[in-house]
Structure 1
Amino acid sequence: MSSMSQEILAFLFSTSGWVLVSSTLPMEYWEVSSNDGSVITTATFYSNLWKTCVIDSTGVSNCKDFPSLLALNGYIQACRGLMIAAVCLGFFGSIFALVGMKCTKLGGTDKNKASIACFAGVIFLLSGLCSLSSCSLYAHRITTEFFDPLFYDQKYELGAALFIGWAGSILCILGGSVLCFSITGSFTKSHSRANYIYKGAVSQSHISSRPRGQAQSVNQRPPPDCSNSSRIQHFDKNVYV
């Protein structure tokens, strides 16, 4: 696969992952109330990073925003910061990737475009790691409370937003990695090509720097000197007999 095809594939993976991560930020179902141990369920509780909601058996829902930012739990504040950072990094990574790709006419020379595309791959990697850490931290809190036998409050299960966030994080990490590796391959190819041209130029300048009339090929040899051998002749005394 060519480097341009790898760049396009990496861009599609990264942008798709960024869209999935961005869609999980306003989603409501980060955690859903568990039905474990209850015979009759009259209401379903669910919440996300911004509010908590309840829906009754008739389908009527009522939501309540978190009253204070400073009164929130530490893990919710950390998840908010990581998700916002992931969305912002993915946005800037998409812009840099468009500028640095070979199929676009922006970014200047090939070397500058390769550097910009590699920087975009690093940004996508950071975006995927931020969203992955946020979803994993939130899921860890849910599973810790669910399996704690001394926790008697309402227990929750993993919501659909966490799985979508994990999928988007993996796509961002894969796309950023492929983008960085494709740029590394183009760097090595350009370096080997430049080294070959440099060696050829040096050998050509070495041949052309010799004085005129003295340049000769490797296989050319001077003719043997036969003058002495032709002058030395041994005649027998009876040669004219």
Structure 2
Amino acid sequence: MDPILEVVALILGFLSWIMVGVAIPNRYWKVSTIDGTVITTSTIYENLWMSCATDSTGVHNCREFPSMLALSGYIQASRALMIAAVVSGSFGVVCTLIGMQCSKAAGDNYVLKGRIAGTGGVFFLLQGLCTMVSASWYAFNITQDFFNPIYPGQKYEIGEGLYMSWASGTLAICGGACLMFSCKFGTEEKSGYPYQPSRGTVYSASASRKDVQSTYGRNAYV
């Protein structure tokens, strides 16, 4: 396994894990486009856990969603996927740290280290897929309501929390792919063995002369 590729994959996976942890509590997953006055509300924004409002004077007021079962299905699924992404990223970081060549956790068994690092790459891929599906599903519902001319409720636009989630998913997928490809290249490089001639194919000069004499007879030599 290439150690440089390991370090790059670890950095990408760790950054993606940090970003998904920051994106979950971010309040700006979807933002309204209302421009109000001092009396009316100017901005409404929501995430997976709460809904907030702020007026033109800068006063913020947030309330958590009262019941999880009363929420829309895509919000519940997005919550579960984001939590699964955080858990998968945690396992990915731990497995990658153990499986790196510079780590002493698994001793000098580089085959075992390569497998552990490859497992970390799988966890990073799972993190990226969960994050991308969650953010894309949430954004799909926002755009569907926004472009629906007969939608009676408040229309929202995509907030910065979704962009952060997409960036986190992209980094996680890149880090997991680097780990898996590095493990593959490492096994291919170690698959060849140096050529060692067999002892049975070595003949001495006297043995070869006896074979020639027995085949052609003594009269073949002058």
TM (norm. structure 1) is 0.82
| Structure 2 unmatched runs, 5+ | none
1:239 maps to which residue? none
Superposition deviation, residue 89 in structure 1: 0.4
- After TM superposition, the structure 1 = structure 2 runs for residues 154-233 of structure 1, keeping only pairs within 5 Å, are 154-192=154-192, 196-197=193-194, 199-200=195-196, 203-207=197-201, 214=207
Superposition deviation, residue 204 in structure 1: 2.9
Amino acid at match of 1:168: S
1:52-82 residue CA offsets vs partner (Å, 9 max, x unmatched): 0110111111111100111111000000000
Q: Matches of 1:107 and 1:159 in 2, distance apart?
A: 43
Q: Matches of 1:178 and 1:229 in 2, distance apart?
A: 68
Change (3 A) 1:228 1:175: closer
1:78 maps to which residue? 77
Change (3 A) 1:205 1:58: same
| Structure 1 unmatched runs, 5+ | 231-241
Q: Matches of 2:6 and 2:220 in 1, distance apart?
A: 74
2:93 maps to which residue? 94
Task: Give aligned pairs, total.
Answer: 216
Amino acid at match of 1:204: S
Give the RMSD, CA atoms, in angstroms. Answer: 2.6
Q: Matches of 1:205 and 1:110 in 2, distance apart?
A: 31
Q: Matches of 2:221 and 2:102 in 1, distance apart?
A: 74
Superposition deviation, residue 14 in structure 1: 1.0
Q: Matches of 2:75 and 2:41 in 1, distance apart?
A: 27
Superposition deviation, residue 42 in structure 1: 3.8
CA radius of gyration, larger in? 1
Superposition deviation, residue 177 in structure 1: 0.2
Identity %: 40
Change (3 A) 1:149 1:205: same
TM (norm. structure 2) is 0.88
Change (3 A) 1:211 1:72: same
Q: Matches of 1:79 and 1:213 in 2, distance apart?
A: 82
Amino acid at match of 1:173: I
2:53 maps to which residue? 54
Amino acid at match of 2:198: Q
1:157-213 residue CA offsets vs partner (Å, 9 max, x unmatched): 000000011001000000100110011000111111xxx24x51xx233336x7996
Superposition deviation, residue 228 in structure 1: 7.8
2:117 maps to which residue? 117
Q: Matches of 2:165 and 2:27 in 1, distance apart?
A: 13
